[in-house]
Amino acid sequence: MANVAIRPSYTLELEAGYFVTPNIAIAVSASVPPIEHFKATGFPQASAFGTNLLGSTHAGLAMLILQYHFTQFGAIQPYAGIGAGYIADFGNISDGILTNFSLNQNFGFVVQGGADLMLTPNWGVYVDGKKEYLSTDAQGFVATAAGPVRVRARVTLDPWRASAGVTFKY
């Protein structure tokens, strides 16, 4: 198997932050875990199995990010952040080649960049992007004539996340 690919998915995310100083904030964010479909690319036996889908999972990432906000530009306030993420597996679906498909929970690294557009002194809107870097193990069993064979692979998850929403500063 050459690679494992996961199609883009969309979900709701909630982020809350606390300003320690006027420029430094600590933010925590989490999302509703979407269903992620793990597909083998470059898999020559896909026709024998009738699919290249390995399995699916409900996995979400919780993040803790230290942010620096540039407040000297008036209503537009760009920010950058760095932090940790934790992938949590909320359930697996053996809907592909692998039975008992599962994804291990693990920590990773997150970088963030974005901007607040303050419409009033307290209310505004924001857009940001987050890049996640984490590795974990995925495993399951494939049926063979001799019985089930365990398959385990190291999976690197490095998605981009785009967010937009309303901000309130008090």
Q: Rounded distance, CA 165 to CA 116, Å?
A: 9
User: What is the spatial distance between Cα 46 and Cα 31, in angstroms, rounded to a whole number?
Assistant: 32
Confidence tier at 106 by pLDDT (50, 70, 90): very high
Confidence check: pLDDT of 2 > 60: no
pLDDT (average), residues 26-51? 84
Q: Quick one: 12 exposed, middle or buried, by C-beta within 10 A (0-12, 13-18, 19+)?
A: exposed
The pLDDT, as a whole number, for residue 64 is 97
Measured between alpha carbons, how far is 40 from 54 in angstroms, rounded to an integer?
Answer: 7
How many helices (H) and strands (E) are present in the chain, helices listed first? 1, 11
pLDDT at 48 over 70: yes
Average pLDDT on 7-23 reads: 88
pLDDT at 167 over 50: yes
User: Is the pLDDT confidence value at 159 over 90?
Assistant: no
Looking at the chain, the whole-number percentage of residues with pLDDT higher than 70 is: 99
- Kindly list the structural domains of the chain, giving each domain's residue range(s) and its CATH number in brackets, ordered by start: 3-161 (2.40.160.20)
Work out whether the CA dihedral 60, 62, 65, 71 comes out positive or negative: positive
pLDDT tens sequence across 81-103: 999 999 888 888 878 888 888 88
What are the angstrom distances between the C-alpha of 14 and each of 30, 163, 165? 6, 10, 9
Tokens of residue 122, six digits: 């307290």
pTM tops 0.85 = no
